[in-house]
Structure 1
Amino acid sequence: MKETQFQIQPLYIVPVNPHILTILQQILTGGKQQNTVIRAICESSRLQQSNLWQIPVPEDFFNETFGQLFEYLALKRNLIPLGLYRLPNAMDNTKAYTFTNPPKDTRLTHRDKVFVLAHEIPNDLLTDNFKTDDEDVIKIPKPIQKIIDKPGIKSIFDDKKIDSSHRKTYQNQIKPKTELQQQLETGKSKANLDLENLNSASATYLILEQVNKQIGKIQDEMDQLKENIDKQNDEILQKVKTALRQELATLTQYEN
């Protein structure tokens, strides 16, 4: 940006690309243009298709801010977030709408999608649930996941996470404990651990029981299907035999 003096007032000169609107239109909408001039501009800029994508908000950023998500996508994933697509009941809205250029302190929900610019999107960003750390993720089959999501079972598997800043503040407020308190808390923690193990075992049993029931239903349906097929085969065989008998009887009559 160049500064010059013009009538004692500073004058700023900014270089402008006359084709910037055409280039932005091609980035956002893509597609082939009918106008030869526009097509020439796009070809010279190597803009052959739309670079606008829509991805789910990663699970790690639920209830976090748009600014935090922007920093993660821009610096670590080479994506440029432009705005949000909010589904009904994301906040207090009853209809879906597009939220362009949201403030950095905008809170994100699981009902939000993100508009981003990129040449291509990694596969892990196209799924509804993905992690931003390097921890191994255990993938649960969809039938079992449906069982886990049922009320009463899901509550057992829900992890109660505490924000790191809240945890740090809480730890700073802890007072020194007496030996008796430590012994009592140690016994309590062991009891809690045993209870958690019991809950996990109970949840595993419930899942296996539900899976066994589903397998039993499928087996019953397969047996019923096999029985119907055998019955239809018998009916077809009887009809063929009857037709052959009738045909033979007809031929015998002609010979006589």
Structure 2
Amino acid sequence: MLLRASPAFSLLANNGGETNSLSSANSVSNSLSFSSVRFSSPAKNPNNGGFSVSAAAPETNSRPLTGVIFEPFEEVKKELSMVPTVPQASLARQKYADDCESAINEQINVEYNVSYVYHAMYAYFDRDNVALKGLAKFFKESSEEEREHAEKLMEYQNKRGGKVKLQSILMPLSEFDHEEKGDALHAMELALSLEKLVNEKLLNLHQVAEKNNDVQLQEYIEGEFLNEQVEAIKKISEYVAQLRRIGKGHGVWHFDQTLLHEGDAAAA
């Protein structure tokens, strides 16, 4: 829709500010045009000693003001033609590259595989002949967190108009004992390597989004995952360092009790 206003007005002001007059034209049409404006200095206008701003008659300058035309129906013709009509196609999809869609599905698979390994660790440390309840609790929570990440990515995939395609999950180990390191240190080092792997995969996903100029996906990965991943790597690195100090002996039990009651004080 194009609006046209044909102004014809004069504004007079003297040094004392006593006189102000404004007269508007009585014609408004469907296009917008401005007439020329004239300034006069005090020397050329001795009567009021100030300045004079006046607009010439509309007939003297009828050129329309360009760059303000907005015709929504014309501008959405291209997008309207791209709206799918088949029920199998997403209606919400916009500027979402196939590479980004595939990378999201790969990341979902990574999160589920890591969750599966953590769940196996939970089952191991929960055995009656291992009985390290703190480590069992830690790995169970880690498994649930990774699964939550996978579900977040699934929701995001649907939000952008992609299709979630779940892939196969590899069978994890069921025994985590190590002759030299012991089971606690061995499992925690494995957890640290898994967290670094997830972080590396997230950075690869971010690069795919950057390559396809998908700013929204970049922001989503940064805000939802990367900061949390760096914090998890730092925390598990500290656990590995502590377990290396205490060895395989009685100190493992104390470490396990710390994990078991972690957060109890805050909850109380």
TM-score, normalisation: structure 1: 0.19
TM-score, length of structure 2 as denominator length: 0.19
Q: Which has the higher contact order (CA 8 A, sep 6+)?
A: 2
